[in-house]
């Protein structure tokens, strides 16, 4: 290390848009900060720059109040004095999807480039752990450095290494490597992102301050370039910072103090870096800690938010974006796509989607989720209808009802689908609205079959839903209200297309074909059964699953476990009495909801008598700011009965059992989990993460003290020995492996305070009332990767868009495929229209340890196929019409194809 040291002082403010105050309350202080910043830039040329927390949305938040400042803001951004990006928001890494993480970077870089800057660092200042593929994402976006505050444990004193392993680093500088081998320089905020905050200008205080701060940074700095971050959470601008720096330079002859930026710091740092830095591989999840401050239980705070987010992400990724391929007006589609992605990402900051803010914040989040849901569903439907009206939908039978199925999943798939149809509509201008319902009620309900585009007939089940009110909104006229006879149609849909559409018909049939096949539920044996699995219902409401392909039996699945929770929105802490209530010795009520040869659903009603809330000691501990590991409150004596309604659904040819759980929660301060023993023990398990199926140990490191060892998952968790069980979920993100043999999935966590630095009551975090969650159990041989069961897990939330049409002439063919690909084992994560008129962007990742050959063929003639990256730049050309590329283990691969409809 050089004798002369340089202290890089970077002004910043870590800005949670919403947290312990609402968005608008925080915005008030953001406007004050930005106003002060603009004055500082104007009046103090020695004030080098300000780092705006790595997120561009703050510019939008400010200009929404001060639109007249837009030109001034743009000026300082172009001068590289106001540093923005590369993200749109500082989102949580584990609770938002793989593609949401990319959209965050994509739209953040788009904003950054618009203002004349280039994203410099992958900034994760307070992210609650970071996924292992982050270096690969950053490298593909042209970013070589990541800066973060959590996930890696610094070790050593005065650069003397006491221990070194995969979870820790002796220095604040390190190498961070993704599973595919991509590597970036990691900057660990070993002394946090406030280590240069509020620098004194008074001589004696400044001397004491710098003696302490320099010593702290010296412990972890591997070079003579020292990093000091002048700011903290919602920190106002230090207006006398340049004066404070001048005083520091007068007092210290061995250190040069500079008002700096990350760009300057990194440029100088790289000149002195040792090639022998510690390499950290994969996920950064604070593995080498005592386990009490990992914030992992934000994965189960306010589960209702996670469920809504999962639904909205699925709508955007598997419906709106792929439907853009069919859009007549691509620009219009792209505008909507960006608009709703950005609206959804307003819910993705770590203190928002993690459910660890005050109630006011999460109320507003629910409104945003609803707006995204309504908007995306509307735009997708309009895109589909605008395309579908061009298809020839005539049929020899004039009573046949045409409909179009849009395949937007990207994989060939087989699913039992359910769709509501109007058998007949009568408009108010055709008959008195008082007479219409009576007329429709007199109509008989015929039997039906579904006729595919190849003229093959598929059985279907039809349920009469009665008379429904509706309305049409013509493109060239006033609204037209009507009543319609509505039915619900269920049929097995086997799609051979990755991307495309198919025109089908609901055709009246002479006899009820569906009744000729055996039903899935057998009342005598109390068993659901198809070709793949058999599910027997136990008296206590648990279920025993037999995998008919391997003959492996999984017993007593779905037992409910309830414990007291005296923690907070960030962390679970079991009550001091450790009282646990389970459904193991219960007796449940059973009801058959429906039963056909296509699907069957049974409803199991269970109750748990649990303490109504924690005892009064918890209130005292919270108000006294007792940290959650030190709390000792017990569960109270008063009891409440919570009703748990479980619906088990098995579908024809389905590989998994679908489970819906409704919890009527009238108790506080507790956690509810479902338990799934596999009957064997294992050392490791697998969990879906961001562009990765992470392999994690079932037991923590030796430093771990927390009795719980909870983890994050994205879509699924899987445990196996010789045989395995995978649990795919819709918005459930927390699990624990107990006794190396049981998967415990958190369904509900009820707590009453935010936690962290003060006393913030959050009564709505108790999640009282109805709570609904969904998951699917998939049995298999071996592990989730070698069995390819991860593909079944990923398909769980997907359902194609189905749109009913009228019979009419059309010039577009009855079915078409837009993109065909082969690459067994690859997971397609993105499918959308590109910037060009006929461009399709598709992205895959390889979760395996082997190279996989990806062959892509686009529709039409003389089309070019290019390799791309996550920021959608065209790289090398890989073929005309057809292209082949090798996808390395754990690699993320994107292609851009000029594609047209095949007629």
pLDDT > 90 in the chain, percent: 91
Q: Return the sign of the alpha-carbon dihedral for residues 280, 283, 286, 291.
A: negative
pLDDT, mean of residues 521-530: 95
Give 34's contacts (C-beta < 8 A, 6+ positions apart).
58, 62, 66, 69, 73
767 Cα distance to chain centroid: 21
Task: Determine the Cα–Cα distance for residues 357 and 346; give it in Å rounded to an integer.
Answer: 14
Q: Which pLDDT score is estimated for 162?
A: 44
Q: How many beta carbons lie within 10 A of that of residue 158, not counting itself?
A: 8
Structure-token pair, residue 246: 């001048």
**Where does the pLDDT of residue 231 fall: very low under 50, low under 70, confident under 90, or very high at 90 and above?**
very high
**What are the beta bridge partners of residue 812?**
391
C-alpha distances (whole Å) from 566 to each of 440, 570, 596, 670 are 57, 11, 46, 8
Cβ contact 896:872 at 8 Å:
yes
**Where does the pLDDT of residue 330 fall: very low under 50, low under 70, confident under 90, or very high at 90 and above?**
confident
Number of residues that make up the chain: 903
Report pLDDT digits (tens) over 589-607.
999 999 999 999 999 999 9
pLDDT, mean of residues 616-641: 97
**Where does the pLDDT of residue 510 fall: very low under 50, low under 70, confident under 90, or very high at 90 and above?**
confident
Placement of tokens 């495309």 in the chain: 500
**E strand or H helix that includes residue 659:** strand 657-665
pLDDT, mean of residues 652-664: 97
Task: Determine the Cα–Cα distance for residues 12 and 55; give it in Å rounded to an integer.
Answer: 12
Q: What is the DSSP letter of 858?
A: E
How much is the mean pLDDT over the chain? Answer: 94
**By C-alpha distance, which of 389, 410, 397, 406 is closest to 815?**
406
Report pLDDT digits (tens) over 164-209.
566 688 899 999 999 999 999 999 999 999 999 999 999 999 999 9
Q: Is residue 155 pLDDT above 80, yes or no?
A: no
Task: Determine the Cα–Cα distance for residues 748 and 673; give it in Å rounded to an integer.
Answer: 7
Q: Is residue 136 pLDDT above 80, yes or no?
A: yes
Q: Which pLDDT score is estimated for 161?
A: 40
CB burial string 371-382: b at 16+ within 10 A, e below: ebbebbeebbeb
pLDDT, mean of residues 462-471: 96
C-alpha distances (whole Å) from 748 to each of 726, 760, 852 are 20, 21, 39
pLDDT, mean of residues 546-567: 98
Q: In 3-state terms, what secondary structure has residue 195?
A: coil
Q: Is residue 514 pLDDT above 70, yes or no?
A: no
Q: Which pLDDT score is estimated for 331?
A: 82
CA 737, 738, 740: angle at the middle one, nearest 5? 80
**By C-alpha distance, which of 671, 796, 664, 660 is closest to 726?**
796
Q: Which pLDDT score is estimated for 241?
A: 98
Query: Which long-range CB contacts under 8 A does 467-476 form with residues at least 24 apart?
Result: 467/436, 467/437, 467/440, 467/441, 468/422, 470/422, 470/425, 472/427
Task: Determine the Cα–Cα distance for residues 450 and 514; give it in Å rounded to an integer.
Answer: 11
**How far apart are the two ends of the chain, measured CA to CA in Å?**
68
* Lowest mean pLDDT across 411-415, 684-688, 769-773, 826-830: 411-415
Q: Which pLDDT score is estimated for 838?
A: 82
Q: Which pLDDT score is estimated for 154?
A: 76
Q: Which pLDDT score is estimated for 460?
A: 94
Q: Which pLDDT score is estimated for 903?
A: 37
Placement of tokens 């905020």 in the chain: 189
Report pLDDT digits (tens) over 381-397.
999 999 999 999 999 99
Q: Return the sign of the alpha-carbon dihedral for residues 298, 303, 304, 306.
A: positive
Task: Determine the Cα–Cα distance for residues 680 and 783; give it in Å rounded to an integer.
Answer: 13
Task: Determine the Cα–Cα distance for residues 569 and 361; give it in Å rounded to an integer.
Answer: 13
Q: Is residue 524 pLDDT above 70, yes or no?
A: yes
Report pLDDT digits (tens) over 794-832.
999 999 999 999 999 999 999 999 989 999 999 999 999
Going along the chain from its start, the domains and CATH numbers come out as: 5-288 (3.20.110.10), 302-388 (1.20.1270.50), 401-510+800-804 (2.60.40.2210), 521-781 (2.70.98.30), 817-903 (2.60.40.2220)
**Can 126 be counted among the known catalytic residues?**
yes
Report pLDDT digits (tens) over 207-227.
999 999 999 999 899 999 999
Active-site option among 126, 615, 669, 710: 126
Q: Is residue 287 pLDDT above 60, yes or no?
A: yes
**E strand or H helix that includes residue 108:** helix 98-114
């Amino acid at each position: 290390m050089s004798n002369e040291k340089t202290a890089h002082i970077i002004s910043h403010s870590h800005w949670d848009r919403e947290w312990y105050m609402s968005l608008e309350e925080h915005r008030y202080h953001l406007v004050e900060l930005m106003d002060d910043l603009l004055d500082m830039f104007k009046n103090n040329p020695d004030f080098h720059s300000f780092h705006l927390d790595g997120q561009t949305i703050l510019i939008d938040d400010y200009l929404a109040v001060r639109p007249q400042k837009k030109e001034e803001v743009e000026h300082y951004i172009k001068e590289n004095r106001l540093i923005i990006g590369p993200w749109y928001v500082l989102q949580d890494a584990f609770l938002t999807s793989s593609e949401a993480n990319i959209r965050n970077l994509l739209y953040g870089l788009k904003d950054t480039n618009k203002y004349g800057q280039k994203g410099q660092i992958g900034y994760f200042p307070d992210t609650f752990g970071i996924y292992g593929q982050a270096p690969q994402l950053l490298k593909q976006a042209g970013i070589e450095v990541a800066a973060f505050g959590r996930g890696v444990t610094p070790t050593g004193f005065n650069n003397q290494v006491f221990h070194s392993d995969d979870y820790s680093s002796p220095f604040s500088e390190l190498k961070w490597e993704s599973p595919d081998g991509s590597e970036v320089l990691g900057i660990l905020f070993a002394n946090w992102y406030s280590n240069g905050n509020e620098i004194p200008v008074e001589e004696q205080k400044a001397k004491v301050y710098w003696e302490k701060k320099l010593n702290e940074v010296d412990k972890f700095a591997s070079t003579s370039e020292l990093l000091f971050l002048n700011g903290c959470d919602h920190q106002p601008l230090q207006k006398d910072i340049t004066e404070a720096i001048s005083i520091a330079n007068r007092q210290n002859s061995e250190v040069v103090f500079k008002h700096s930026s990350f760009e300057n710091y990194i440029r100088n740092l790289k000149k002195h870096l040792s090639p022998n830095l510690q390499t950290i591989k994969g996920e950064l999840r604070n593995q080498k800690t005592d386990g009490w401050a990992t914030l992992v239980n934000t994965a189960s705070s306010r589960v209702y938010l996670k469920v809504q987010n999962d639904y909205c992400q699925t709508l955007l990724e598997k419906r709106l974006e792929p439907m853009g391929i069919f859009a007549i007006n691509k620009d219009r589609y792209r505008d909507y796509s960006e608009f709703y992605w950005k609206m959804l990402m307003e819910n993705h900051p770590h203190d928002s989607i993690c459910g660890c803010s005050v109630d006011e914040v999460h109320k507003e989040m629910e409104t945003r989720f609803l707006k995204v849901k309504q908007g995306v569903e509307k735009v997708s439907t309009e895109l589909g209808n605008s395309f579908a009206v061009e298809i020839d939908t005539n049929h020899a039978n004039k009573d046949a009802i045409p409909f179009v199925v849009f395949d937007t999943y990207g994989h060939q798939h087989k699913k039992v689908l359910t769709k509501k149809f109007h058998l007949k509509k009568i408009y108010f201008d055709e008959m008195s609205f008082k007479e219409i319902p009576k007329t429709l009620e007199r109509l008989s309900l015929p039997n039906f079959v579904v006729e595919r585009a190849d003229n093959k007939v598929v059985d279907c089940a039809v349920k009469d839903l009665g008379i429904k009110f509706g309305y049409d909104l013509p493109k060239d006229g006033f609204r037209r209200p009507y009543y319609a006879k509505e039915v619900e149609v269920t049929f097995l849909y086997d799609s051979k297309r990755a991307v495309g559409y198919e025109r089908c018909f609901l055709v009246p049939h002479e006899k009820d074909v569906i009744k000729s096949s055996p039903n899935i539920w057998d009342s005598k044996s109390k068993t659901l059964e198809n070709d793949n699995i058999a599910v027997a219902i136990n008296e206590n409401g648990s279920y025993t699953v037999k995998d008919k392909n391997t003959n492996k039996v999984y017993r007593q699945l779905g037992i409910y476990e309830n414990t007291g929770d005296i923690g907070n929105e960030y962390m679970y802490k079991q009550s001091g009495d450790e009282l646990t209530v389970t459904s193991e010795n219960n007796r449940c009520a059973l009801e058959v909801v429906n039963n056909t040869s296509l699907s069957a659903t049974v409803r199991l009603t269970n109750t748990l008598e649990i303490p109504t809330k924690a005892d009064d000691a918890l209130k005292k501990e919270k108000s006294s700011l007792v940290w959650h590991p030190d709390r000792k409150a017990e569960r109270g004596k008063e009891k409440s009965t919570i009703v748990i309604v479980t619906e088990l659904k098995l579908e024809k040819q389905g590989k998994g059992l679908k489970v819906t759980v409704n919890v009527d929660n009238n108790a506080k301060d507790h956690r509810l989990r479902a338990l799934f023993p596999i009957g064997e023990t294992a050392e490791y398990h697998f969990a879906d993460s961001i562009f990765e199926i992470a392999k994690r140990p079932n037991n923590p490191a030796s430093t771990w003290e927390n009795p719980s060892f909870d983890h994050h998952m994205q879509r699924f968790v899987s445990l196996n020995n010789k045989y395995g069980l995978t649990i795919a979920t819709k918005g459930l993100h927390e699990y624990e492996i107990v006794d190396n043999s049981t998967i415990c999935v958190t369904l509900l966590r009820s707590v009453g305070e935010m936690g962290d630095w003060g006393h913030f009551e959050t009564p709505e975090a108790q999640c009282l009332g109805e709570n609904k969650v969904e998951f699917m159990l998939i049995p298999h041989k071996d592990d989730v990767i070698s069995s390819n069961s991860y593909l079944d897990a990923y398909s769980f939330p997907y359902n194609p868009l189905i749109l009913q049409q009228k019979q009419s002439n059309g010039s577009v063919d009855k079915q078409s495929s837009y993109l065909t690909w082969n690459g067994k084992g690859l997971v397609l994560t993105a499918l959308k229209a590109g910037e060009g008129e006929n461009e399709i962007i598709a992205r895959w990742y390889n979760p395996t340890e082997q190279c996989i050959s990806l062959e892509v063929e686009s529709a039409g003639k003389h089309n070019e196929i290019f390799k791309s990256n996550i920021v959608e730049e065209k790289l090398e050309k890989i073929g005309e019409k057809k292209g082949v590329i090798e996808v390395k283990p754990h690699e993320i691969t994107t292609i851009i194809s000029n594609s047209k409809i095949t007629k």
